[in-house]
Structures are given as structure tokens and as C-alpha cells.
Structure 1
Amino acid sequence: MEHYGWLSLLPPVITVALALLTKEVIFSLFTGVFVGYLIVNGWNPVTALIDATDGIANSLNDGWNIRIILFCALLGAFVGLMQATGAASAFGKWMASKVKSRKGTLIITWLFGIFIFIDDYFNSLTIGTVMRPVTDEQKISRAKLAYILDSTAAPVSVLAPISSWVVTIMSIIKGSDGFSKLGVSEFTFFILLIPINLYAILAILMVLQTILRRDFGPMAKSENRALKGLGLYNAEFGQPTGEVKEGIVVKERARAIDMILPILVLVGLAVIFFPITTYLGAIDGENIHTFSEAVKSMTLKEAFNNTDASKALFYASLFTLVFASIYFMLRGLLTIQKVGEAIVGGIKSMVPALVILTLAWTIGTVIKSSPEDGGLGLSKYLAHVVTSGGFPLWALPVVVFIIAAAISFATGTSWGTFAIMIPIAMPIAIALAEKTGANLLNSALITVGASIGGAIFGDHCSPISDTTILSSTGAGCPHLEHVATQMPYATFVMVISALGYLIAGIFNSPVAGFVSALIVFFIAYEVMIRVRKPVEE
């Protein structure tokens, strides 16, 4: 038996349904895991619960997975250190001091958001706290600030090669059925994904367009009110969601370099460790005995392509944390006791994400594994259904994008949507590509890119998304005003992204989807600002 037939659909369907109803992703994922093992164990709830807990433990009994967990935890610790020192605040003030114009302030805020790519929460709260007094002085509406914060949080984090988002996506991709047929490492696959992550790219460009060109829709009204001195926010939507105080500490001694240097060290070490881990892994004691022999045995490109990203990122984060701790103590920004407190606090902030990631691995294992290996064989069942049912490969990316967008918007989480959609979308894309003779790698890239793009849409604009709420808080903007002013922009980008995925699917080309989406984006934006009444100056 290769699969359990339609029963193998129950875990993901129940997970999605519960997530939509309860808005609680951890509970929904665990229920999906339990249902999967319930089916495998002949509907015996006792053995199913035992196997479910064993499955969760086995997910962590893997070198790759545990290093990803440790990387995320260490990244949280690194963010905790940055918050405790006030380095980010010093960096923001330094950037803000370089410009005095309204447009310049907006561009600096946008650039600041791109530079802080390591964590979306850190992005929203830190930049909001630092830039809010500056944007207030320039009569920039709180809604516009909240929009910039939100659009440079998840969309930036998911594109940066070094972040907790990236390792989460790589982990889910690596464990998806059919990935081994693509002939690339999970890190190479992620790099190739970047151009087809259309929603994230266009969301970031949309911010720049509204700064350099003009706002439209509800955002234009909020900006007009602020420019006229009628209020930085619309009280009809309620009061601002609060001032950010806790966790954002400003040290008088902190300087911009205290933010820049540790991040440069993190990026630099990651780049160095990517090939080094490959060379070290090539030393087998038989054909290759030394590091120098390993270097000579392959090109630098091959070393990057074959790298174990979990090792490289884990080593980079560990060395960076040590460096940052010593550096901040030598600078007199933190005592050894404060370093310990900041590290513990930062790790605690990552716990919910780590639980989601562990459950994502577990449900992925039980639904993709064959019955002989204690799983349901869902990927084989879905591949059989779509290939025998004549479903067109060209339509798959846009359908996946829309489904992922609906799930993430309703649940307010992108990570949960990654966990649900990628393990389902990957094997279907590969099976359809094999049947039609299409390029396997392109088909997988476009479909997985569509899964990620749809997931980011929900995280970006859902009223119940944590980053949406934190962006309102960081900007001191009424939450409903932030949602109302951002929604037209997010929807505009989503529609164009869907068109890009449709074209990418038709031509089975990520490049075609990327280029067409960019062209339509700039043309459509010009049309929108011309048919809408401009902001009164």
C-alpha cells in the first residue's frame, strides 16, 4: 500500500479548518499530528497519542533540525542583546540625523527596515520607537509609519538569506517529498526562490513607490490630515495601540556602530562558514585527509551549492553571539549579568516559533511518509489524483498562491501556512512536471514561491497577524486605521503577484513571472495615482 487514499487528506484539512476557526496555529498543528497518527494506528487514541509524542521527539532527534532550533534560539538571543543595549535606537537616530526633509525621513525609515532583516518583531518595535518622534516632526501620519514598519518586517525577513524565516522555510522544503529529485541543496533552492517571491518583493517596492510618487486610497486621506495639522492619526478608529517602552532601552553610550558591526559580523561569518562546512564534511579519512585537500577537491561554487546550511548558520550565530556579548561588555553597554538576562529573554521570545517549527516537521513527516514507514503517503496520493485528473501545471502556482493567501489572512500567520502548504505543493508540482515533461526545478520554484508569497500576504495585512499588531503598536497608530490604510496597498500587490504567478506557470519560468509582475506593477501604479485624487499639498 502506497497511501491511505482520501484519509491521508484528513490531517492537513483538519489543521486548516481548526486554524481558520480557532485562530490558534499550535493547537491546530498538534491536532493534525494526532489525527495523522490516529489513522496510522487504526483509530486507537492511546497508541496514537504515544506515537504523536514520539514523532515530535524524533523530529528533534535529527542533526539538521536541532541545529535549526539552536540557530533560531541564538538569533533570538542576539536580538535580545541588541534590544538591551539600545544600539538599534542609536543607529536609527544617526540615520535620522542625516536628513531633514519629509521624503528623506520616509526613505530613511524604509532603509532602516531593510537593514534590520534578522527579525520581524525587532524590526517593527525598534524602528517604530526610534523613528516615531522624527516622523511626527515631519507631519508624517502614524498610518504611513505603521505601513512602512509592516512592509519591511515579514517581506524583508523572508528574503534575507540569514534569518529565522529562512531556516524555517529551508527546513520545510528539505523535508518535502520530491525535493531530492531537484539536484540542488536547500540553500541554493532558497536563493533561487528569491526572484519568484513576488509578493515580498513588490510589497517592499510598493513602499518606495508611495514615498517617491504619491499615495492613494485611505492612506492619502491619512497623509492629507497629517499635512494639514489635523492630527497624526484618525481618532475615529480609536486611540493608538500604545507607546512602546518595554524591551526598547536607550543607552546614552550606544552608537550606530554598535548596531552595524555585530550584523556585519553575522553576515560575514555566515558567508565564510557556508563553504567551510562543506570542506570539513568532505574530509573522510580515506580519499581526503586534510582541509587543504578538501579545498582542492571542489570549486568554491560547488562548496556553496553543497553546503549544510544548518551547520553554517548555527556556527555563524554562535560565534556572533559570543562576539557581541564580549563587545558590548567591553563597550560598557552591558554587564555580564545583563548579557545573561538579555540572552535568556531573547530565547524566550522565540519559543512559540520553535514550537510551530517542531510541529510543522512532525506533521510533515506523518503525512509524507509511506505506510511502510509509519506515515500516510499523502504526497503520493495527491500526485496520483492531480496527474490522473488532468489538472494543468500552469494553473497550479496561482491556485496555491490564492489558497495560501486565504489561509494566512484568516489565521494571521505565515509560518503556520508554510508548514501546511509547502509539503503539499512541492510533490504535486514535481509530479505534474514529470508527467508533462516540464522543468522540475522551475515548477518547484514557482509553486513553492507561490506558497510563500501567499503566506506573506496574510502575515502582512491580516488584522490578527502579530506583525500587523506590533506595527500599529510601534507606530503609535490606531490598529484599525493601520489595517484600513494598508489593505488597499496589500491587495494591489497581491493581485499583481497572482498575475505574475499565472504567467510564470504558463511559461514555466520564474524569470517570466518576475519580469511581467514588475512591468505590470509599475504601469498599474501609475494608473492608480492618476485616477485617484492626489494628496493636497
Structure 2
Amino acid sequence: MEHYGWLSILPPVVTVVLALVTKEVVFSLFTGIFVGYLIVSNWNPLTALIGVTDGIANSLNDSWNIRIILFCALLGAFVGLMQATGAAHAFGKAMASKVKSRKGTLFITWLFGIIIFIDDYFNSLTIGTVMRPVTDEQKISRAKLAYILDSTAAPVSVLAPISSWVVTIMSIIKGSDGFSKLGVSEFTFFIMLIPINLYAILAILMVLQTSFRKDFGPMAKSEERAIKGLGLYNEEFGQPTGEIKEGIVVKEHARAIDMILPILVLVGLAVVFFPVTTYLGAIDGENIHTFSEAVKSMSLKEAFNNTDASKALFYASVFTLVFSSLYFILRGLLTIQKVGEAIISGIKSMVPALVILTLAWTIGTVIKASPEDGGLGLSKYLAHIVTTGGFPLWALPVVVFLIAAAISFATGTSWGTFSIMIPITLPIAVALAEKTGANLLNSALISVGAAVGGAIFGDHCSPISDTTILSSTGASCPHLEHVATQIPYAVFTMVMAAIGYFVAGLLNNALAGLVSALIVFFVAFEVMVRRSKVREQE
């Protein structure tokens, strides 16, 4: 038996439905896992619960997985150090001192969001606290500030090659059925995925368009109020969420370099360790004995393509954490005791994400493994259905994008959506490409890119998304005003991205999807601006 038939689709369906109804992804994922093991154990709940326990333990028993867990935890520790030193505040203050105009302030806030790519929470809280006095002075509405914070949180984190988001996506992709047929490493796949992550790209560009061109919709009204001096926020939406004080430290002797240097070290070490880990792994003691021999045995491109991303990122995070701790102690920004406290605080902030990641691995294992290996064989069942049912490959990306967008908006989480949609999407894309003779890698990239893009939509604008809430808080903006002013922009961007995925699927070409999305985005934005001007004149 290759699969359990229609029963194999029950766990992800239960997970999706519960996520939509309860808005709670951890409970939904755990229940989906339990249902999967319930089917495998012939509906014996006690045996199923034991299976769940063993499944979670086995997920953490994998060396690749545990290094990813440790990397995420250490990244949280790194963010904790950055918060405790006041380095981010010093960096923001230095940047803000360079501009005096309204547009310049908007651009600097956007640029600050691009630079702080390592963590979306850190982004929203730190930039909001640093830039709020500056934007207030320039009569920029709190709603506009919150929108910029939100648009440079998840959308930036998912595009940056060094972040907890990257390793999460890579780990889910690596464990999905069909990935081994693509002939690339998970890191190479992620890099190739960036240009087809259309929603994230357009969301970032939307900030620039509305900063240098013109706002429209509810955001235009909030901005008009602020410019006329009628209030930086609309009291009809309630009082501001509040100012974040906990975790935001102001130290007069902190400097901008104190944030820039550790980030450069992290990125630089990661780039170095990607090929180095491959060379080290090639030393087998028989044909290759030394590191220099390993370097000569393959090109730098091959070393990057064959790297173990979990090792490279883990090594980079350990070295960076040691460097940053010593650097901050020598600079007098932290004592040894404060370093320990900051590291623990940072790791604690990552626990919810680590729980979701572990459950995502577990449900992925039970649904994709064959019945002989204790799983449901969902991938084989779905591949059989779509290849015999006549579902068109060209329609897959846009359908996946819209489903992922609906799930992420309803649940407010992109990570949970990744864990649900990617393991289902990848094997379907590969199976349909094999049937139609289309390029496997192109098909997989476009479809998985659509799943990731849809997931980012909800994380960006859902009223219950953590980054949406934190962006309201960081900007000290009434949460409902932030949601009401941001959603029209997010939906506009989503529609443009959907058109891009439709074209990409139709031509099976990621570049065509990106170009078409950019064209319709700029044209449609121009139309919206002109309509807005006409309405003002009326």
C-alpha cells in the first residue's frame, strides 16, 4: 500500500479548518498530527498519542533539525543582546539626524526596516520606538509609521538570506516529498525563490510608492489629519496601543557602529561558512586529507550549492554571539551578568516559533512518510489525484497563493501556513511537471514561491497577526486604525502579486511572473493615484 487514500488528506484538512476557526496554530498543528497518528494506529487513541510523542521526539533527533532549532534560539539571543545594549536606538538616532524633510524621514524609516532584517519582532518594536519622535515632528501619522513597520517586518525577513525565517522555510522544503528530484540544495532553492516571492517584493515597493508619490484610501485621510495638525492618530479608532518601554534600552554611550558591526559579522561569517562547511565535509581521510585539498577538489560554486545550511548558519550564529558578547562587554555596554540575562531573554522570545517549527516537522513527517514507514503517504496520493484528474499545472501557483493568503489572514501566522502549504504544494508541482514534461525546478519554485507569498500576506496585514499588533504598538497607533489603513494597500498588493503568479504559471517562468507583476503594480498604482486626485477635486 502506497497511501491511505482520502484519509491521508485528513490531517492537513483538520489543521487548516481548526486554524481558520480557532485562530490558534499550535493547537491546530498538534490536533492534525494526532489525527494522522490516529489513522496510522487503526483509530486507537492511546497508541496515537504515543505516536505523536515519538514523532515529535524523532523530529528533534535529526541533526539538521536540531541545528536549525539552535540557530533560531541563538538568533533570538543575538536580538536580546542588541535590545539590551541600546545599539539599535543609537543607530536610529544617527540615521534620523541626517534628514529634516517629511519624505526623507519616510525613506529613512523604510531603509531602517530593510537593514534590520534579522527578526521581524525586533524590527517593529525597535524602529517604532526610535523613529516615532522623528515622524511625529514631521507630522507623519502614526498609521503611516505602523504601516512602514509592518511592511518591512515579515516581507523583509522572508527575503533576507540570514534570518530565522530562512531556515524555517528551508527546513520545511528539505523535508517535503519531491524536493530530492530538483537537484539543488535547500539554500540554493531559497536563493532562487527570492525573485518569485512577489507579495513580499511588492509590499516593500508599496511603501516607497506611497512615500514619494501619494497615499490613497483610508491612509490618505489619516495623513491629511496629521498634516493639518488635527491629530497624529484618529481617536475614533480608540487610544494608541501604547508605547513599548520594556526591552528598549537607551544608553548614551551606545553608538550606531555597535549595531552595524555585529550584523556585518553575522552576515560575513555565514557567507564564509557556507563553502567552508562543504570543504570540511569533503575531507574523508582517504582521497582528501586536508582542507587545501578539499578546496582544490571543487569549485566555489559547487561548494555553495552543496553546503549544509544548518551547519553554516549554526556556526555563524555561535561565532557571532561570542564576538558580540565580548565586544559589548569591552565597550562597557553590558556586564557579564547582563549578557547572560539578555541571552536568556532573547531565547525565550523564540520559544513560540520553535514550537511551531517542531510541530511543522512532525506533521510533515506523518503525512509524507509511506505506510511502511508509519506515515500516510499523502504526497503519493495527491500526486496520483492531480496527475489523473486533469488539474492544470499553470493554475497551481495562483490557486496556492490565494489559499495560503486566506489561511494566513485567518490565522495571523505565516510560519503555520508554511508548514501546512509547502509540504502539500511541492509534491503536486513536481508530479504535474513530470506528467506534462515541464521544467521541474521552475514549476517547484513558482508554486512554492506562491505558497510563501500568500503566507506573508496574512502575517503582514491580519488583525490578529503578531507583527501587525507589534507594529501598532511600536508606532503607538490605535490597532484598528492601523488595520483599517493598511488592508487596502495589502489587498492591492495581493491582487498585483496574484496576476504575477498567474503569468508565471502560464509561462512556467518565474522572471515573467516578476516582470508582469511589477508592470501591473506600477500601472495600477498610477491609476489609483489619479482617481484619488479626481475625487479630491470633486
Match of 2:401 in 1: 401
Q: Provide the secondary structure at the position in 2 that maps to 1:463.
A: coil
**Post-superposition shift, 1:286?**
1.1
Deviations 1:431-477 (A, max 9, x none): 00000000000000000000000000000000000000000000000
Q: Provide the secondary structure at the position in 2 that maps to 1:532.
A: helix
**Post-superposition shift, 1:304?**
0.4
Where does structure 2 lack aligned partners over 5 or more consecutive residues?
none
Match of 2:188 in 1: 188
In the aligned structure 2, how far is the partner of 1:486 from the partner of 1:34? Answer: 37
Match of 2:351 in 1: 351
In the aligned structure 1, how far is the partner of 2:90 from the partner of 2:239? Answer: 28
Alignment CA distance shift 1:250-1:534 (3 Å):
farther
Match of 2:161 in 1: 161
Residue 480 of structure 2 aligns with an amino acid whose one-letter code is L
**Post-superposition shift, 1:21?**
1.0
Q: How does 1:379-418 map to 2 (within 5 A)?
A: 379-418=379-418
Match of 1:327 in 2: 327
In the aligned structure 2, how far is the partner of 1:187 from the partner of 1:160? Answer: 12
Residue 503 of structure 1 aligns with an amino acid whose one-letter code is V
Match of 1:98 in 2: 98
Match of 2:179 in 1: 179
Q: Provide the secondary structure at the position in 2 that maps to 1:80.
A: helix
Match of 2:257 in 1: 257
Q: How does 1:34-113 map to 2 (within 5 A)?
A: 34-113=34-113
In the aligned structure 2, how far is the partner of 1:407 from the partner of 1:129? Answer: 31
Percent identity of equivalent pairs? 87
Residue 521 of structure 1 aligns with an amino acid whose one-letter code is F
**If the length of structure 2 is used for normalisation, what is the TM-score?**
0.99
Residue 361 of structure 1 aligns with an amino acid whose one-letter code is W
Equivalent residues of 1:29, 1:359 under 8 A apart: yes
Equivalent residues of 1:408, 1:414 under 8 A apart: yes
In the aligned structure 2, how far is the partner of 1:535 from the partner of 1:303? Answer: 58
In the aligned structure 1, how far is the partner of 2:116 from the partner of 2:395? Answer: 36
Residue 120 of structure 2 aligns with an amino acid whose one-letter code is D
Match of 2:271 in 1: 271
**If the length of structure 1 is used for normalisation, what is the TM-score?**
0.99
Match of 2:447 in 1: 447
The answer to whether the aligner puts 1:197 opposite 2:197 as a matched pair is yes
Alignment CA distance shift 1:6-1:334 (3 Å):
same
The answer to whether the aligner puts 1:515 opposite 2:515 as a matched pair is yes
Residue 122 of structure 1 aligns with an amino acid whose one-letter code is F
In the aligned structure 2, how far is the partner of 1:185 from the partner of 1:493? Answer: 30
Equivalent residues of 1:215, 1:535 under 8 A apart: no
In the aligned structure 2, how far is the partner of 1:288 from the partner of 1:16? Answer: 49
Equivalent residues of 1:199, 1:457 under 8 A apart: yes
Match of 1:170 in 2: 170
Deviations 1:201-228 (A, max 9, x none): 0000000011111111110110000000
The answer to whether the aligner puts 1:126 opposite 2:119 as a matched pair is no
**Post-superposition shift, 1:352?**
0.4
Equivalent residues of 1:102, 1:138 under 8 A apart: yes
In the aligned structure 2, how far is the partner of 1:403 from the partner of 1:334? Answer: 47
Match of 1:472 in 2: 472
Equivalent residues of 1:85, 1:328 under 8 A apart: yes
How many residues are aligned here? Answer: 537
Residue 119 of structure 2 aligns with an amino acid whose one-letter code is D
In the aligned structure 2, how far is the partner of 1:379 from the partner of 1:499? Answer: 28
Equivalent residues of 1:442, 1:508 under 8 A apart: yes
In the aligned structure 1, how far is the partner of 2:107 from the partner of 2:96? Answer: 10
In the aligned structure 2, how far is the partner of 1:459 from the partner of 1:533? Answer: 31
Match of 2:367 in 1: 367
Q: Provide the secondary structure at the position in 2 that maps to 1:334.
A: coil
Deviations 1:89-139 (A, max 9, x none): 000000000000010000000000000000000000000000000000000
Equivalent residues of 1:150, 1:467 under 8 A apart: yes
Match of 2:461 in 1: 461
In the aligned structure 1, how far is the partner of 2:429 from the partner of 2:441? Answer: 9
In the aligned structure 1, how far is the partner of 2:260 from the partner of 2:102? Answer: 25
Deviations 1:43-91 (A, max 9, x none): 0111110111000000000110000000000000000000000100000
Equivalent residues of 1:221, 1:535 under 8 A apart: no
Match of 2:318 in 1: 318
Equivalent residues of 1:223, 1:535 under 8 A apart: no
In the aligned structure 1, how far is the partner of 2:527 from the partner of 2:490? Answer: 17
Residue 414 of structure 2 aligns with an amino acid whose one-letter code is S
Match of 1:247 in 2: 247
In the aligned structure 1, how far is the partner of 2:19 from the partner of 2:213? Answer: 39
Deviations 1:339-388 (A, max 9, x none): 00000000000000000000000000000000011000000000100110
In the aligned structure 1, how far is the partner of 2:289 from the partner of 2:534? Answer: 69
Residue 215 of structure 1 aligns with an amino acid whose one-letter code is D
Match of 1:219 in 2: 219
**Post-superposition shift, 1:248?**
0.5
Match of 1:502 in 2: 502
In the aligned structure 2, how far is the partner of 1:35 from the partner of 1:464? Answer: 26
Deviations 1:374-411 (A, max 9, x none): 00000000010011000000000000000000000000
Deviations 1:271-305 (A, max 9, x none): 00000000000011111111000000000000000
In the aligned structure 2, how far is the partner of 1:532 from the partner of 1:487? Answer: 17
RMSD of the alignment, in Å? 1.0
Equivalent residues of 1:277, 1:311 under 8 A apart: yes
**Post-superposition shift, 1:533?**
3.0
Deviations 1:470-489 (A, max 9, x none): 00000000000000000110
In the aligned structure 1, how far is the partner of 2:371 from the partner of 2:65? Answer: 23
In the aligned structure 2, how far is the partner of 1:167 from the partner of 1:63? Answer: 14
In the aligned structure 2, how far is the partner of 1:2 from the partner of 1:30? Answer: 24
**Post-superposition shift, 1:534?**
7.9
In the aligned structure 1, how far is the partner of 2:500 from the partner of 2:531? Answer: 23
Q: Provide the secondary structure at the position in 2 that maps to 1:139.
A: coil
Match of 2:376 in 1: 376
In the aligned structure 2, how far is the partner of 1:435 from the partner of 1:468? Answer: 41
Match of 2:420 in 1: 420
Deviations 1:136-190 (A, max 9, x none): 0000000000000000000000000000000000000000000000000000000
Alignment CA distance shift 1:174-1:186 (3 Å):
same
Equivalent residues of 1:407, 1:417 under 8 A apart: yes
More displaced stretch, 515-524 vs 174-183: 515-524
In the aligned structure 2, how far is the partner of 1:462 from the partner of 1:288? Answer: 53
In the aligned structure 2, how far is the partner of 1:483 from the partner of 1:110? Answer: 19
